[in-house]
């Protein structure tokens, strides 16, 4: 009954659609643009360096206080959501009109704007979710938004890649950009969340108090431990999937095969991850979920190593994508999001959550920029073994961060 009551929460519908809107820009950058650039002749080292355009995800805590402090006409949360979603619709839709071979600089600039508005949308959606859900609902809410986030990845990675074999890239990006309407319509229909205390009266309150509260809550040592854990929990999985599309293409798969494999298994695995993750988060609690889901996401990395050894096997490709969708971007990410939500003070949602999620984005943004060089030196198989080993430092922190027997 406890699980059923949680699943029937109508507020989760808004979280679901906003999670989809949050994930679409990032996965467009990771999957669709990666295929677009690879097909244009950009080499693996340059593709790896292209991850540096994702810097806004790492530094979004710098302008999060502005979004906490100032409200737009539709409200402090809805106004910023609508603005960023409209901007993303235009940027993604127009991206394909550029030619990477002759206009690479313009592509990089456009990608920078895409990541800035995507990171800004994440700030306000994360704050909105934290504010409309009660503490006991944060685990399930995290599972819902993470799996909606992952489901959004199927649009550029499955639909987008399939369309790329059938129509010009300019039309492909227009189709993918139109899916931002899901988030924009949702934003126009939902209500503003309740405010926990008075909004910041000035920039000093918006910037200083959130960081002061986090550091003084459990002491400097505990604060640094939390920072390290958030930074490292997804590092192995993040590196393993940084150049996934390039990896599949190097093995000999076509974009259509990749798209169908992602669509056939990724969708169902994401749905299963949402159901299983949500139920387990309610039953296990956040602490134990971090342990169990962390192990599963580490095992998912070995699937890529197996595929690298076997070669272009379509059934194995589907299995690897499916398990990674279920374990890594489903369960593991849900546990981390729930943990971050729990560690966020409701009075400073936008700023504190942006700080934590910025740390989580560091591997994807900075460390992943070196992935192309590592692959060039080690080859794909040994690269995935390295990623598997890197999954364990964060697991060793769990006895202090999230003790198994502590509720």
Structure-block tokens of residue 237: 């999985």
Place of tokens 């999001």: 337
Q: Which residues pair with 75 in a beta bridge?
A: 72
Distance of CA 336 to the CA centre of its chain: 11
Does residue 3 carry a pLDDT above 60?
Answer: no
Residue 59 pLDDT:
83
Residue 91 pLDDT:
96
CA-to-CA distance for 63 and 180, rounded, in angstroms? 23
Does residue 45 carry a pLDDT above 70?
Answer: no
Percentage of residues in the chain having pLDDT higher than 90:
30
Residue 5 pLDDT:
57
With 0-12 CB in 10 A as exposed, 13-18 as middle and 19+ as buried, what is 252?
Answer: exposed
3-state secondary structure string across the chain: CHHHHHHCCCHHHHHHHHHHHHHHHHHHHHHHHHHHHHHCCCCHHHHHHHHHHHHHHHCHHHCHHHHHHCCECCECCHHHHHHHHHHHHHHHHHHCCCCCCCCHHHHHHHHHHHHHHHHHHHHHHHHHHHHHCCHHHHHHHHHHHHHHHHHHHHHHHHHHHHHHCCCCHHHHHHHHHHCCHHHHHHHHHCCCCCCCCCCCCCHHHHHHHHHHHHHHHHCHHHHHHHHHHHHHCCHHHHHHHCCHHHHHHHHCCCHHHHHHHHHHHHHHHHHHHHHHHHHHHHHHCHHHHHHHHHHHHHHHHHHHHHHHHHCCCHHHHHHHHHHHHHHHHHHHHHHHHHHHHHCCCHHHHHHHHHHHHHHHHHHHHCHHHHHHHHHHHHCHHHHHHHHHHCCHHHHCCHHHHCCCCCC
CA-to-CA distance for 33 and 40, rounded, in angstroms? 10
Does residue 1 carry a pLDDT above 50?
Answer: no
> Which residues, other chains included, contact 77 with Cβ-Cβ below 8 Å and sequence gap of 6+?
124, 127, 128, 131, 192, 193
Architecture per CATH, domain 10-400, reads as Up-down Bundle (1.20)
Residue 116 pLDDT:
94
What are 100-135's pLDDT values in tens digits? 878 888 888 898 899 999 999 999 998 898 888 877
Percentage of residues in the chain having pLDDT higher than 70:
89
Residue 350 pLDDT:
80
Residue 254: what are its φ and ψ, rounded to 5°? -85, 165
Q: What is the residue extent of each domain of the chain?
A: 10-400
Q: Quick one: which of 214, 183, 222 has its CA closest to 22?
A: 183
Under a CB-based contact definition with an 8 Å cutoff, are residues 196 and 204 in contact?
no
Under a CB-based contact definition with an 8 Å cutoff, are residues 329 and 150 in contact?
yes
Question: Looking at residues 308-331, what average pLDDT do you find?
Answer: 87
What are 346-398's pLDDT values in tens digits? 778 888 888 888 877 776 666 767 788 889 899 999 999 999 999 999 999 99
Residue 20 pLDDT:
93
Does residue 286 carry a pLDDT above 90?
Answer: no
What are 210-222's pLDDT values in tens digits? 888 888 888 888 8
């Amino acid at each position: 009954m406890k699980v059923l009551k949680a699943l029937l929460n109508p507020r989760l519908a808004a979280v679901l659609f906003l999670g989809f809107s949050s994930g679409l820009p990032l996965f467009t950058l990771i999957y669709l643009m990666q295929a677009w650039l690879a097909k244009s002749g950009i080499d693996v080292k340059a593709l790896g360096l292209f991850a540096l355009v994702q810097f806004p995800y790492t530094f979004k805590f710098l302008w999060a206080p502005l979004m906490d402090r100032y409200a737009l006409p539709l409200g402090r949360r809805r106004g910023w959501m609508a603005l960023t979603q409209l901007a993303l619709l235009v940027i993604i839709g127009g991206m394909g009109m550029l030619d990477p071979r002759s206009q690479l600089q313009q592509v990089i600039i456009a990608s920078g704007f895409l990541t800035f508005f995507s990171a800004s949308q994440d700030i306000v959606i994360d704050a909105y979710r934290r504010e409309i859900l009660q503490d006991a609902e944060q685990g399930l809410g995290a599972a819902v938004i993470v799996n909606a986030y992952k489901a959004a990845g199927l649009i550029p990675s499955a639909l987008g890649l399939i369309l790329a074999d059938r129509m010009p890239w300019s039309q492909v990006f227009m189709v993918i950009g139109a899916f931002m309407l899901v988030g924009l319509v949702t934003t126009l229909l939902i209500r503003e969340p309740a405010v926990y205390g008075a909004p910041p009266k000035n920039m000093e309150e918006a910037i200083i108090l959130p960081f002061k509260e986090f550091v003084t809550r459990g002491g400097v040592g505990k604060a640094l431990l939390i920072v390290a854990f958030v930074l490292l929990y997804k590092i192995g999985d993040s590196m393993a999937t940084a150049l996934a599309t390039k990896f599949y293409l190097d093995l000999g798969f076509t974009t259509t095969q990749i798209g169908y494999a992602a669509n056939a298994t990724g969708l169902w695995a994401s749905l299963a991850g949402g159901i299983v993750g949500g139920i387990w988060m309610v039953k296990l609690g956040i602490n134990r979920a971090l342990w169990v889901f962390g192990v599963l996401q580490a095992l998912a990395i070995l699937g890529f190593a197996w595929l690298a050894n076997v070669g272009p096997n379509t059934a194995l490709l589907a299995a690897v994508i499916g398990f990674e969708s279920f374990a890594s971007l489903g369960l593991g990410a849900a546990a981390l999001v729930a943990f971050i939500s729990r560690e966020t003070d409701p009075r400073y949602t936008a700023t504190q959550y942006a700080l934590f999620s910025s740390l989580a984005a560091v591997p994807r943004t900075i460390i992943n920029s070196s992935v192309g060089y590592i692959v060039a030196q080690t080859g794909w198989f040994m690269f995935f073994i390295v990623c598997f080993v890197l999954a364990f430092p964060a697991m060793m922190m769990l006895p202090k961060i999230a003790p198994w027997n502590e509720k």
